[in-house]
Structure 1
Amino acid sequence: MDAKRITTGIIFLFIGIILLLSKMDIIDFNWFEVFRYWPLLIILVGVNILVPKKDIGYIISIGTTCVILSIFTYIGITTPNQSFLSRIMENNHVDIDMDEEDFKGTSNFVSSKNSGNTTHATANIDLGATQIKLKDTTESNLFEATNNSNKYFLSLNSDSKEGQPTTLNLSGKTKKGINSKGNTTLIKLNKNIIWDLNLDVGAADIQGDLSNFKLRNLTIDAGASNLDLKLGYPQINSNINIDAGASSIQIAIPRDAACQIITEMALSSVNADDSFIKGNEKGTLTSPNFDKAKNKFQIAIDGGITSVSITRY
């Protein structure tokens, strides 16, 4: 009897059963909360190294494995699915040593005027310790952002050259020692512009109703995140690229929109409706009208412990 093989088999069996039950909607398992207790796996490795390679050692090794997996099961099943992210958003604060000079030109509201002849713009959004909402439109301006806390400061600069698309750079920060937890940044876009959006965030809760906007490219680089996106009809090629760690991702697309989804994830589950067909390559889902469609979505998701849900509206 090989204790190492048995414990490894038990761990893989545990992961497989949990993923299967989650896929069948029998349980709602919180991988994010379980991930916080990863040091228990180090303890398990230490126990396997220390115990003697005899019958009593096998019993201790297998028993420890079952106890730790039981703890993971209890945490994953009994903890609400968003509690890990919510705790990050509530407790996290930016602690940056900056002088008053660094905050000149910042406020909790920033905007960029619409020149009237802009057809395409890029927005680079670099925010931390804030909930992000992309949903409202603005016609008088090209871009607006506001934060509901007077302790969270936004900075916006733009680069506009004749004959070139406008580039906007939005960043957010707080002064050293100031806790701005629980704040929200609302971003408004001009719906008449074709947009490229690049979001670089840490532990983030992003709610984006982009159904009214012309979105050509969307790139999201996030850590432990909750992403809830509603997309409108694609441009000729609308590319959605998401790189996330321990994340929950929900994406809603129009009912008849052509779409291909490519996922590369470790511990993950992907739920999509019957309108998608599994491809020959692992992690590929494609709508039947994708090849012939002129306008289409190409969605690429790279994540760790990630739950992905693709729905239509």
Structure 2
Amino acid sequence: MKRSNGIFWGGLLVVMGVVWLLRNMGYLYLDWQEVSRFWPALLILAGLSLLASGGERRGIGGGVAGILIVLAVLGGITHRTERALDRHSNNWGFDWDDDEDWDWDSDRDKDRNRERDRKSDPRGQKYEDDDADSSSSRRGSRNDHYEYDLESGLQQATLKFEGGAGEFKLKGNTNKLFEADTRSSLGGFTSTIRNNRNVGSAEIDFKMENNKVNLKGKNIENSVEFSLSESPIWTIDMGVGAGTADFDLSNFKVKKLKVSTGVADLDLKLGDKLETMDVEIESGVASVTVEVPESVGCEVRLDGALNVKKLDDLVKISDGLYRSPGFEQTSRKIIIRYEAGLSEVKIRRY
């Protein structure tokens, strides 16, 4: 056993040292995103190494297998993190209700909001044009305000948000459909809305203007505070690359919630306004806390490499599946699907 452990740790250090040295000397280039996709192959090699080793060679085979397993775990975590970071890099893919017949009759609402935003707020705050050239303001922090009116007859709304890195907070409700205050040294945000008045629905896109930002500056600031209307039924897709996010959704009727994050501290507070709420969380390396009302049944499905779990009163049903007592009998349910690389997940009842 001691011989096997020595081979394992010695071999791991040798492999890592050689790879790092060749990379620093310019003889080796590794695209970790591409390499990490093949992490299952390392598990296959580890198994073959154990099968091929026997007798006196068992210690060597065990050491080689141990090295391959460690590299496979690291590769799996890297690949999962890359997926979470990249899912929103190309317009943050969003495929709920794609079969809905969106007959957009007000695709120019953005222009009307832009015209209104050029005017001054009665309180004296000037609204910035969300499409204005902000090259001069990027040297410091830029403050912007965005809002869309709540139209009569609106029943369903979709919010798609891409925030990159920063601090993000849902601070409460508003008599508007949507409001956001941003402060950023990385540039402005773009905001558009599409209304389908035939079916009483609206879709809001809110994201950073520049997908590629330089984070080498010392005084980086990027924060967004949202307010939403409590009237419509919401479908929400949030993308947070890195940083902190605090979304209190307890007073909103949220049908579907999808959150993707890379390296972040995420806090979610869910409500009991609808009979069923579907939540999907995808993260890389993160700390995630989800607060769930005691009045609803809760089901959590976990899938990930290494997760630290604190699930309050949830009971393990099977591998990766947890439910609150009496889940089937409750009239209101929250179903959470959590996919992660290396993370700490907490489910708290309130």
Regarding TM over 0.5, the answer is yes
Distance 1:42 1:138, change over 3 A: farther
Question: CA-to-partner distance for each residue in 1:150-184, whole Å, 9 max, x for gaps?
Answer: 65312111111123321110012359769572331
> What is the rounded CA distance, in whole Å, between the counterparts of 1:176 and 1:251 in structure 2?
30
Per the alignment, residue 277 of structure 1 pairs with 315
Structure 2 counterparts to residues 90-239 of structure 1, below 5 A: 103-104=131-132, 108-139=144-175, 141-149=176-184, 152-164=187-199, 165-173=201-209, 181-239=220-278
Give the Å deviation of 1:218: 0.5
Q: 1:262 aligns with which of 278, 301, 304?
A: 301
Q: 1:43 to 1:176 in 2, by over 3 A?
A: closer
Deviation at 1:285, TM superposition (A): 0.8
Between Structure 1 and Structure 2, how many residues are aligned?
236
> Equivalent of 1:295, from 332, 336, 345?
332
Tell me the secondary structure at the aligned position of residue 188 of structure 1.
strand
1:181, 1:115 → 2: CA distance? 37
Could you tell me which runs of 5 or more consecutive residues in structure 2 were left unpaired when the two chains were aligned. Answer: 21-55, 68-128, 135-142
Q: Secondary structure at the match of 2:221?
A: coil
Match of 2:16 in 1: 43
CA RMSD of superposed structures (Å)? 3.6
Identical pairs, percent:
26
Give yes or no for contact 2:185–2:222 (8 Å, CA) kept in 1: no
Is residue 259–residue 287 contact of structure 1 (8 Å, CA) maintained in 2?
yes
Residue 43 of structure 1 aligns to a residue whose secondary structure is helix
d(CA) in 2 for partners of 1:163 and 1:294?
31
**Relative to structure 1, is the Cα distance of residues 167 and 177 closer, same or farther in structure 2, using a 3 angstrom cutoff?**
same
**Matched residues in 2 for 1:42 and 1:124: separation?**
43
Query: Structure 1, residues 55-96: CA drift from partner, whole Å, max 9, x if none?
Result: xx99xx9xxx9xxxxxxxxxxxxxxxxxxxxxxxxxxxxxxx
Residues 264 and 301 in structure 1, CA contact (< 8 A), matched pair in contact too: yes
Give the distance between the partners of 2:146 and 2:14, measured in 1 at CA: 46
TM-score normalised to the size of structure 1?
Answer: 0.66
Kindly state the Cα deviation for residue 148 of structure 1 after the two structures are TM-superposed.
Answer: 2.5
1:252 aligns with 2:287: no
- Cα distance in 2 for partners of 1:210, 1:41 equals 50
- Decide whether the 8 Å contact of 2:130 with 2:188 is kept in 1: no
What code does the residue aligned with 1:147 have?
T
Structure 1 runs (4+) deviating above 4 angstroms are: 1-8, 39-42, 44-47, 174-180
Query: 2:328 aligns to what SS in structure 1?
Result: coil
User: In 2, Cα distance between the equivalents of 1:105 and 1:290?
Assistant: 53
Residue 193 of structure 1 aligns with an amino acid whose one-letter code is P
Paired with 1:183 and 1:244, the residues of 2 have a C-alpha distance of 20
1:306 aligns with 2:343: yes
CA distance in structure 2 between the aligned counterparts of 1:113 and 1:296, rounded to whole angstroms: 31
Equivalence for 2:99: none
Q: 2: CA distance between counterparts of 1:304 and 1:176?
A: 25
Q: Which residue of structure 2 lines up, in the alignment, with residue 16 of structure 1?
A: none
Task: Please state how far the C-alpha of 1:287 moved relative to its aligned partner.
Answer: 1.1
Evaluate the alpha carbon distance shift between residue 154 and residue 4 of structure 1 in structure 2; reply closer, same or farther with a 3 A threshold.
same
SS in structure 2 at match of 1:291: helix
Deviation at 1:244, TM superposition (A): 0.5
Task: List gaps (5 residues or longer) in structure 1.
Answer: 11-38, 48-53, 66-100
User: If you compute each CA radius of gyration, which structure gives the higher value, 1 or 2?
Assistant: 2
Change (3 A) 1:118 1:298: same
TM-score w.r.t. length of structure 2 = 0.59
The verdict on how the C-alpha distance between 1:212 and 1:176 changes in structure 2, with shifts beyond 3 A counting, is: closer
Partner Cα distance (1:117, 1:291) in 2: 34
